[in-house]
Structure formats: C-alpha cells, structure tokens
Amino acid sequence: MVLPVSSISELGWLVMLVILLAAHESAAESKNGFVLDDALVPPHEILNGGPGRDGIRSLDYPAFVSASDAKFLKSKDRVLGIELNGIARAYPIRILNYHEIVNDAFGGHAVVVTYCPLCNSGIAFDAKVDGTRLEFGVSGLLYNSDVLLYDRQTGSLWSQIEQTAITGTMKGTRLNALPIAHTTWRDWVARHPETEVLSDQTGFRRNYKVSPYPDYARNSALYFPVTAHNSKYRRKSLVLGLEIDGQFKAYPFSEMSKSPQEFLDEFQGQSFAVRFDKKNKTASIVGEDGDEWPTLISFWFAWYAFHPETEIYTAD
C-alpha cells in the first residue's frame, strides 16, 4: 500500500512531534546528567546551582599539615573538626567553600566530609555503605538550597542534610553521620594540639584567602528558594540540630545564649547534656556515657526547610 503524499507529510509531522515531546520530557527529568524522574523529592524542586557536575571539584587526595605549619589559618577562622581512630583533623571552611567535599580516610576508615556554604552545614559521613566504599562528588544541583552529593560508583544523588540518597540505585539509603565540630581554629587546636590540618596546597588554583560568598552570611537573602519558611528566628541565625529516631529538635544559639553553658535536656525518651560555647559560636550534645552525638550546626532557614515539624528548645 502506498500512502498519498499528504498522508506521508502528516505522518512525518506526527513522528517529529512525538520526538520533540520525548526530548522535552527527557530534558525535564534530568539535570547535569542525573535522571530525576525517580526522585524522592519533586524533581522541579531540584535546581541547578550554576556549576555542572564536578564544576566544584571535590578533594579526593587530601594533603595535611601539622597545626604549627598551618600558618594560613587565623584564630577565628572556622573549621570542621573530626577525631576518629586516634586521629584529629581540621578542615578549614575557607577551603571547603571552594570544594564542598573531601574524600578522606582515618586509619582505613573511609570518611566523606561535606560542607554546604549556602546552608552553613558541615556533616561527616561514613563513606562505606552496604560494604562498598563510595567516593562522592559535587553534582552541581541543590535541593532546599542544600548541596546534592553524588557517588561515583552508582551515580545516585544524596541530600546532605537529609543524609539520604534521593535518586538512583541507592535511593532511600541513609548515610551514617559522624560526630563533627563546627568551631573556630583556636578552639579546635586548643582541644587537639596534635591535630592535622587540611593543606591549602590542594593542587587547584583557588584564592583561599577570599570567600566566594563574602556577604552571604550577613544578610537575609537566599540565592535559591526553599520549600518551608519560619520567621521565628533570623534566616541565617545559627542552630544546633538533633535527630533521634526520625524526630527533630533545634537548639537556636540565641536561646542557648540565655541558658547555662551546659544544661541537661530530654528528647524522645533520651537524656543528654547540651554544651554551648558562645565565644567560639559552637555547640555539641553529649550522651550519658560521655560520648558526643552526631549533630548539625546550620543556618535556621536550612534546618527548618528540611524539618518544618521540628521541636524547638527555648530558654526558661
């Protein structure tokens, strides 16, 4: 059977339309090469932060120097600090601002150190998941203004603050957070004089003396939208966040500044001590056994965007 020319033309246009629609749908469901149609969050809420995949380069072979050789650090500089397997290390925020992820190991214990400049959120995770060591990179995508990591083994996207894979074969898998200090260099080195420090000789040409976000923390503007807001506290005021069994509680620094430097609290049937250091703008939670618990220091807007059901500590 031979179709008339007019029918062939109509058929051709129909095929072209189907192809164009398919291409549009495909583009809508993927960003930076990551397929989003199976995401645990609405795909339209996953936004491109500007750089492409690995446009912000993770540090995969980090070098360290002794505390005495870390001449580039000032006493008030912010650092993330970890003590694990008898090793103490400091990761300066001035370096993490440019790299966001450090793939590291403490005596054979694989750890990924993450920092999101937009949320001021620093979290360290066990990088071994289901028996496999994962290496993480920066996807260039954001959810609730927070960095989305991706693992190079499966290409799954991971939400830093939710600590969960939201796409890919690892979807729904949780990362195991480790205790981490978010404090000043003077505080960390006083507690750990033997600490190692992430070297500013990273192999990349970056000016670590200058922040790429110079005024961001000092104003209320957000670069990207978030899904929930609460004006009880200033957007970029600091909070200490705690999770127990899927329930959340925030300890605003402004509330803790009215409380004793250390006080006892209970949440989800567990008792613990909350320690607040106003001078160094840091806080931590210690269990009854004396061990520090994993917590998160971040901007208030970020904590609330992910945990709008959060309980909030208020000073008496």
Residue 152 within a domain: yes
Query: Does 127 reside within a domain?
Result: yes
Same domain, 66 and 147: yes
Using an 8 Å Cβ cutoff, are 78 and 183 in contact?
Answer: yes
> Do 139 and 247 lie in a common domain?
no
Q: Is residue 215 part of a domain?
A: no
Q: Check whether residue 111 and residue 154 sit in a common domain.
A: yes
Assigned token pair, 129: 């998941």
Residue 218 in any domain: the answer is no
Distance in angstroms (rounded) separating the CA atoms of residues 226 and 229: 7
What torsion, rounded to 10 degrees, do the Cα atoms 217, 259, 77, 304 define? Answer: -40
Same domain, 66 and 176: yes
CA–CA distance, 56 with 73 (Å, rounded to integer): 22
Domain membership flag for residue 257: yes
* 254 and 125 belong to one structural domain: no
The last residue of one of the domains, among 198, 215, 245, is: 198
Same domain? For 48 and 180 the reply is yes
Dihedral through CA 221, CA 222, CA 223, CA 224, nearest 10?
-150
According to DSSP, the residues that pair with 45 across neighbouring strands are none
Per-residue pLDDT of the chain (316 residues; tens, 9 = 90+): 333 333 334 444 444 433 433 444 444 478 999 999 999 999 999 999 999 999 999 999 999 999 999 999 999 999 999 999 999 999 999 999 999 999 999 999 999 999 999 999 999 999 999 999 999 999 999 999 999 999 999 999 999 999 999 999 999 999 999 999 999 999 999 999 999 999 999 999 999 999 999 999 999 999 999 999 999 999 999 999 999 999 999 999 999 999 999 999 999 999 999 999 999 999 999 999 999 999 999 999 999 999 999 999 999 8
The pLDDT tens digits of the residues spanning 5-57 come to 333 344 444 444 334 334 444 444 789 999 999 999 999 999 999 999 999 99
Q: Output the pLDDT for position 60.
A: 98
Q: How many domains does the chain have?
A: 2
Q: Which residue has 């051709």 as its token pair?
A: 12
| Same domain (yes/no): 159, 112 | yes
Range of 264's domain? Answer: 227-312
21/32 Cα distance (integer angstroms): 20
CA dist 259 to 106, 136, 295, Å? 36, 39, 19
Matching residue, tokens 């149609």: 37
Q: Is residue 8 part of a domain?
A: no
Whether 155 and 300 share a structural domain: no
pLDDT of residue 316: 83
C-alpha 110/C-alpha 170 separation (Å) is 18
Does residue 210 belong to any structural domain of this protein?
no
